[in-house]
Chain A
C-alpha cells in the first residue's frame, strides 16, 4: 500500500494543542486532507491555544493552503487562538492570499419548495408566459407590417437580393425533400384507400379521397410542417446567434432597422415560397397516388385523371393554396420572435430553437383548424 500522502498529527503540551501537518497538501490529495481536517473539526478540543505546525509540509498549493486556513478559522470561531507556524517562506504569499478569501458569510442554499406550490406556480408561470407570447407575437406582427408598409412607401429600400437569397434557401433547396415526402404520402394514402375501399367494391373512390385530401389538407400541412422544421429552426438559430454576438445591436446603432433587414426578407421569402412548395408538393402527392392506383389498384393513369377531373373542383385546389401564405407567415413570425428572445448562453439558443419548431407546428395546425371552420361555413 502506498504511504499516506498527507498527515495531521496532534499532541497536547502544557494546555497548548500542537498540530503538525506533513506531506503533500495539494489538490490531488485534497480528498484525504479534507477528511483529516473535518475529523479534527468534529472533535472538540478544550485547548484555548493552538499552533498548526506546517514545517513538514513538502508541497502546498491553493487547495492545501485553504484547508489549513479553514482549520485555523474553525478554531478561532470556537473561541481559541490559533496560528500557523513554521511556514516555508516560499508559501507565505500563497497563504496570505488564501487568508483574504472566503471571508463573506456562506450563502445558504435554497431549499426545494413544496411540490404542490411548485406545480401551481409552474402552472401560473406557464399561463403568464402564454399571455406574454400572444402579446409579443401580435406586437411583432404589427412591427413587421409597419416596416412592410414603410418599404412600400420607399420601394428603393426593398431588399430584393436578400429576399431572393432567402427564397433560394427556404424554397428552392426544399424542393427535393418536399417532392419526395409528398410523393410517398400520396402513394401511402392511395394504397390504404384501395386496400380498404376494395371491401365495398368502391376502389374508384380512392381518387376522390386522394384528390380532396391532398389538395385541401395534406399538401399544405405537410409542407408547412417540413418548412417549420427545416427553415423555421434555421431562422431562429441564425437570428439567435446574431443576437448573442451583438450583431443585431450593431445593425440598430448603424441606424438600420433589424426588422427591415433581417425579418422582412425572411418572412416574405417564406410567404412566397410556401404556396409554391405546396403546389409542387401537392402535384407530387397526386402523382404518387396515381402511380399506386396504377400499379396496385390496376387503373390506368387516364382513368385516374378522368375521375380526378370529376372529383375535384377549382375550389378544392384554392382552399389549400389560400392557406399556404398564412402558414408561411406564422412560421416566419414564430421563428423570428423566438430568435430575438435568445439570451447569452448556448443552452438558451437550443431552448428557443426547440420552442420555435414546436410552437410553429402547433400554430400551423390550429390555423388549419380555423380555416376548416371558415371554409365549411362559406360552403367551399
Chain B
C-alpha cells in the first residue's frame, strides 16, 4: 500500500529529544535593521505544552522575534532551535516538515482575500494531505465551530467579515493541521472583552486537549492573567524577566512595575478585589 508509506514519510518522526528540553530554544539572537539593533543577544526558552505570553513595549521587537523564529526575518547572529532542531541546519524538506508542525496567526489574520473562509481553512489540508472533499468540508466546518464561528461563515469572503471574525477564521486556518506550536501575534487585540475572554478560554482548551504549545505576543493584561502559564518580558532587545504572572507582579524592575502596576493594570487588580 503505497498510500501508507507516503503518509508515514510525511508524518513527523517522534523526536529523540528529551521531554524536558525546551520546544523553542533561542540563544544569543541579534537582529538589526539598517544598523539599528532590535534584538541584542536575546535568550528565551519555551517549554513544551505551556502558554507563553510575550510582552514588551510597542516597537520593541516582539513581532521581530516571532518572525525570526518562524523564518520571516533573517537574524544576524545566534541560534534558534525548534523541536530540538537548529533551524539553520535543516534541509529544505526537513524545514517543511517542521513548518507543518506549527501554525501562525498573524496580527491582521492574513486570510487570502480571494478565497472564501472555507477555502482558506482547507488550504493547508489541500496542500499537504490527500483527503476527500467531504472530509475537508467537515473538518473546515468543525474547526470553524471550534473557534466559535457559525457554519454559514464558511462561504463568506474575508472582506465580508468583521475584525474579530477574521481573527477567529485565521486561527481556524492556523489550527487545521493540529500543529504542536501556535504562534499568536496579538490574538485578542481588536476584540471585545467577551470575545477576547472566549478566545483565551479557547486557547487554553486547545492547549489542554492537543498538548499545544502557545507562543503569544500580547498586550492584553487579562490574557496574561487568565491564559498564560508563563510570561517573558522584552525590553531593550533582551528578555528582562520570565516567570508566572505572580513573579511579574512582584518584580522590582521599573519597566515591569510600570507595565503591571500602571493605571490600567491596577484598576483591573483593584476591580478584582472588590
Chain A residues within 8 Å of B, Cβ to Cβ: 1-2, 4-5, 24, 26-32, 34, 61-63, 66-67, 70, 90-91, 93-94, 97-98, 100-102, 104, 106-107, 244, 343-348
**CB-nearest residue of chain A relative to B130?**
A31
Given contacts A32-B3, A90-B209, A348-B114, 12 further A-B contacts (CB under 8 A): A26-B11, A32-B7, A34-B132, A62-B178, A62-B210, A90-B208, A97-B205, A97-B209, A101-B146, A102-B142, A107-B155, A345-B158
The secondary-structure label for the interface of chain A is helix
Give which listed residue, B12, B143, B210, contacts A94 with CB less than 8 A.
Answer: B210
Look across to chain B and name the residue whose beta carbon is closest to the beta carbon of A100.
B145
A97 B157 Cβ-Cβ under 8 A: no
A2 touches B129 (CB 8 A): no
Interface contact A28-B143, CB-CB below 8 Å: no
Determine if B194 is an interface residue (Cβ-Cβ < 8 Å).
no
Q: Which B residues are in CB contact (< 8 Å) with A5?
A: 4, 7-8, 11
Closest Cβ–Cβ distance, residue A84 to chain B (whole Å): 15
With A31-B131, A61-B178, A93-B208 known as contacts, the answer to whether A345 contacts B138 (CB < 8 A) is: no
Q: Report the Cα distance A57→B138, complex, angstroms.
A: 22
What 8 pairs across the A-B complex have the smallest Cβ distances? Answer: A344-B159, A347-B114, A345-B113, A61-B178, A94-B209, A101-B145, A101-B142, A28-B11
Tell me the complex Cα distance, A1–B4, Å: 8
Assess the B7–A345 pair: CB atoms within 8 A. Answer: no
**In chain B, what residue has the closest Cβ to A64?**
B178
> What are 24 A-B contacts defined by CB distance under 8 Å?
A1-B4, A2-B5, A5-B11, A27-B129, A27-B178, A28-B10, A29-B11, A32-B7, A61-B210, A62-B175, A63-B139, A63-B178, A90-B208, A93-B209, A94-B209, A97-B146, A97-B209, A100-B145, A101-B146, A102-B151, A107-B155, A344-B159, A345-B158, A347-B113
Of A4, A34, A98, the contact of B4 (CB 8 Å cutoff):
A4
**B177: interface (CB < 8 Å):** yes
Distance of A31 Cα from B10 Cα, bound (Å): 13
- The distance in angstroms between the C-alpha atoms of A368 and B221, with both chains bound, is 65
**In the complex, are the beta carbons of A344 and B113 less than 8 A apart?**
yes
Note all chain A residues with C-beta closer than 8 A to B160: 344
- The residue that A62 contacts in the complex, of B8, B142, B151, B158, with Cβ under 8 A, is B142
CB contact list, B198-216 vs A, under 8 A: 205, 208-211
Q: Are A31 and B3 in contact (CB under 8 A)?
A: yes
Instruction: Bits for B114-145, please: 1 = Cβ < 8 Å to A, else 0.
Output: 10000000000100011110010111011111
Is there contact, CB below 8 Å, between B131 and A34? yes
B interface residues, how many (CB within 8 angstroms): 41
A93 to B201, CA, bound (A): 12
Does B72 belong to the interface (CB within 8 Å)? no
**Least CB separation from A99: chain B residue:** B142
List of B residues within 8 angstroms of A24 by Cβ: 11
B205 & A62 in contact (Cβ 8 Å cutoff): no
Q: Which residues of A contact B177 (CB under 8 A)?
A: 27
Flag if B113 contacts A2 (CB, 8 Å): no
Docked pose: A101 CA to B143 CA in angstroms: 8
Q: Is the CB of A28 within 8 A of B129?
A: yes
Chain B residues within 8 Å of A90, by CB: 208-209, 211
Q: Which residues of A contact B131 (CB under 8 A)?
A: 30-31, 34
CB closest residue in chain B, given A61: B178
Q: What separation, in Å, do the CA atoms of A24 and B14 have in the docked complex?
A: 12
Q: Is the pair A31, B209 in contact by a Cβ cutoff of 8 Å?
A: no
Q: How far is the CB of B227 from chain A (nearest CB, A)?
A: 15
Which of A1, A91, A98, A106 lies in contact with B5, CB distance below 8 A?
A1
A29–B7 touching, CB < 8 Å = yes
Contacts of A91 in B (CB 8 A): 209
How distant is the Cα of A70 from the Cα of B141 in the complex, in angstroms?
A: 13
In the complex formed, the residue of A with least CB distance to B135 is A34
* CB-defined contacts of A101 to chain B, threshold 8 Å: 141-142, 144-146
> B21 to chain A: closest CB distance in Å?
20
Q: Which residues from A are CB-within-8-Å of B208?
A: 90, 93
Please state if B129 and A93 are interface contacts (CB–CB under 8 Å).
Answer: no
Smallest CB–CB gap between A101 and chain B, Å?
4
Cβ–Cβ contact B138 & A70, under 8 A = yes
